[in-house]
Amino acid sequence: MRTAKRGPMGRFRHMALVIGVALGFVSSARAQHPIQAHPSDEPKRALVVPARSEITLDGALDEPAWTAAPPIGQLVQREPRPGVPATEATVVKLLYTRHTLYIGVICFDSEPHRIIGTQMARDADLSADDRIEILIDTFHDRRNAFYFATNPLGALVDALITENGQLNKEWDAIWDVRVRRLSDGWSAEFAIPFKSLSFRRGQSVWGFNVSRTIKRKLEEDRWAAPRLDVRFFQVSEAGDIVFQETPADGAPQMEQGRGVDIRPFITGRWFHTNPSGHTATTAKGGVDIFYNLTPNLKLTTTLNTDFAETEVDARQINLTRFPLFFPEKRAFFLENAGVFTFSNIRRDIIPFFSRRIGLLRGQEVPIMAGTKLTGKVGRYDVGALLVRTRETNLVEAKNFVVARVKRNIFKQSYVGGLLTSGDPAHPTTSRTYGTDVRLATSNFLGRARNFEVTAYWLKTSTEGLADRDQSFGFGVAYPNDLWSVRLSWRQIDEHFRPALGFVPRTNVRKLFLGLDFSPRPKRFLHLRQMFHELRYIRYTRLDDDRVETWRLFTAPINWQFNSGDRMEFNYVPTFERLVEPFEISPGVILAPGQYRFTRWRVEVETASKRPWQVKGTWWFGGFWSGRSDQIETTFRYKMAPHLQLSAETNQTFARLPEGRFVARIFSFRADYSVSPFLTFFNLVQFDNASRNLGWQSRVRWILQPGNELFIVFNQGWVQDERGGFRFRTTDSKLAVKFQYTFRF
């Protein structure tokens, strides 16, 4: 088990064999990609007309202004039959007043009793529901946009789209929507204040797109670019809307106001430690200020910042040699976070990872003040962040600086630079700086296909670490519906240490090759699409040029059925080289050496359109020097329209010569929405590594958009060393936060 005799050529022959088997399987199934109907190449264009009568936001498009407004045009299918007329009609109309953009949508349905709506919470995941999604490119730059969505229950979902497809759902705007069930479908009425949108004064043409999903049919209908190779978030493929010019006799003109939002907040906290009996109560106030320096440039300032409303992290047990990644969840750092995104190197290298600020060794470091500048200056996208943290018993007060700039070139490309300064854990000075470039098109070689080339270079400057402190690499991608191909290569030097970043592995070169063949067969086992996947990853050490890790992930079967159900089978040969002992679990230590093993996976998932959904995953086979079984289960039940229940388990049963161990994580969610403006969230989690059982209960009450009350209760228990269901209470926490927005 500890020797790997295959050389590089042997591994490539192995990979080629698997590719041949996978493609041969596809051929034997005679799966054919349907001929894609191409709509007219002329861009979609529609009018936004002034509202000549008052609009009452109630979901009913019955005012004279709505009756007089022209529809934007027909929506056609993107799935399952691109370019074919939609099976159900959709009418979309656009109006505006001096202060508000109105979007009205009527979703006709021949079976209204089968309309699916299960989610009400703010920013809920609507993927299991019928829904309307809207994209608004106010600058008409074909790469950045605002995103709004709702479902038949009136859920408010919004996000920012950056770089022609990157989505930041943590951005929350002040806007409203109302829905109404009809005898022949449902309707939605959006009201988006111009104060909530950034745009150039006098610009009358905006990018726009709208999509409707009919979940029971797995059908997506779209206004512009209804092609399989175009995702909805590709702003470059949106149509245009034109604000109808009005005479100078008092007709509406778009008003942004002074561009100032002031949001004061007050927070009260209660904390009780059961072992000592200590109880503490605190209160604090602060303020967030949002100011549009120009229509294109926003300054956000936070004073005496508090994150009481933040959801706890999902539990993880680390069975790897590398640090775990926990995503950012704090609102101040998430808003407009896409501006600071660097290249597309994802979790291998994140040169700016905002969780490094205000969190240290699992403890909060209070933020005294922070200010953030984001927006556009001509063809430049700019972002700057300055944060001051308070002194604690862990670390002295510190300043942190992040700056990001991108020069937009061509239609979807850019050249950019990044600088970070500050070290949250040490008194030394640390800086990271670098540059990146992205060249992308959705019309590759004259065909409607996506293609992109990326490259980056980064360097860190840390006291005591000289030389071998860079990272650089490139990537090529052809991400399309039938064929998707990706190649990337990067080098991460031994002393590359971005103090405000996240880099799990250094002193390596990484090669990644990815190939997907995803045909849509006709009349074969009721399949919607077959995903056949290959992923080859290889890490080579820089100091001795030996392979440290390679992994070949194959999915000869990953099938999605017309019912929405899915099944997958994977074969994953793996190689690992340990240069020092690795304690994979307490008391279970793997010796240095070479380990080759093969993992297998079977996964089954039922369709999300049903009231209940089940997902089961079983990893089995070799594991380091022995064997293991990893079993993951998920069960969700939706008691529409108010209650959502889910239970998840993740258990690993390892049997190694060095010892046996079991790693367990259990979680349970129960969310109850009274309305789209009041939701009770409950999350219970347990893992046997920390033996900690935790319960968080959160209430989010939107009194009106912009004015919110949060109540958060956390309770912890620790399992008795004898195991079983014996627990003792540890900490109890209660936080209440109220914030109110003044708009000018």
Q: What is the pLDDT of residues 551-572, one digit of tens each?
A: 999 999 999 999 999 999 999 9
The yes or no reply on domain 45-243 and CATH 2.60.40.1190 is yes
Residue 11 in this model has a pLDDT that exceeds 60: no
Q: Identify the pLDDT of residue 247.
A: 58
Residues 471 and 477 sit within 8 Å (Cβ to Cβ): no
Q: Identify the pLDDT of residue 378.
A: 87
What is the average per-residue pLDDT within 27-41?
A: 39
Q: Identify the pLDDT of residue 36.
A: 40
Alpha helix locations (H) across 42-157?
Answer: 64-68
Residue 722 in this model has a pLDDT that exceeds 90: no
Q: Identify the pLDDT of residue 167.
A: 86
Structure tokens at 693: 């059982």
What is residue 542's DSSP assignment? T
Strands (E) in 215-277, as ranges, are 219-222, 239-243, 260-273
Tell me which residue of 155, 153, 152 sits closest to 123, measured CA to CA.
155
- Comparing 299-313, 530-544, 584-598, 684-698, the range with the smallest average pLDDT is 299-313
What is the average per-residue pLDDT within 171-182?
A: 94
Query: What percentage of the chain exceeds 90 in pLDDT?
Result: 77
What is the average per-residue pLDDT within 234-244?
A: 94
Q: Identify the pLDDT of residue 465.
A: 74
Q: Identify the pLDDT of residue 39.
A: 44
- Sign, CA dihedral 181-179-92-78, equals negative
Is pLDDT larger for residue 88 or for residue 248? 88
Q: Identify the pLDDT of residue 272.
A: 94
Residue 351, Cβ neighbours under 10 Å: how many?
Answer: 28
**Residue 427, preceding peptide bond in cis (omega within 30° of 0):** no
What is the average per-residue pLDDT within 701-718?
A: 95
Is the backbone of residue 507 left (phi > 0), alpha (psi -120 to 50) or beta?
left
Residue 625 in this model has a pLDDT that exceeds 90: yes
Beta bridge partners of 707: 704
Residue 166 in this model has a pLDDT that exceeds 90: no
Residue 251 confidence class, pLDDT cut points 50, 70, 90: low
Residues 389 and 370 sit within 8 Å (Cβ to Cβ): no
Structure tokens at 432: 């990271």
What is the average per-residue pLDDT within 620-646?
A: 96
Is pLDDT larger for residue 726 or for residue 584? 584
Q: Identify the pLDDT of residue 15.
A: 38
Q: Identify the pLDDT of residue 252.
A: 64
What is the average per-residue pLDDT within 75-85?
A: 94
- Comparing 111-125, 269-283, 590-604, the range with the smallest average pLDDT is 269-283
Structure tokens at 398: 């510190």
Residue 37 in this model has a pLDDT that exceeds 70: no
**CA-to-CA distance for 381 and 339, rounded, in angstroms?**
7
φ, ψ for residue 356, nearest 5 deg? -70, -15
Q: Identify the pLDDT of residue 35.
A: 35
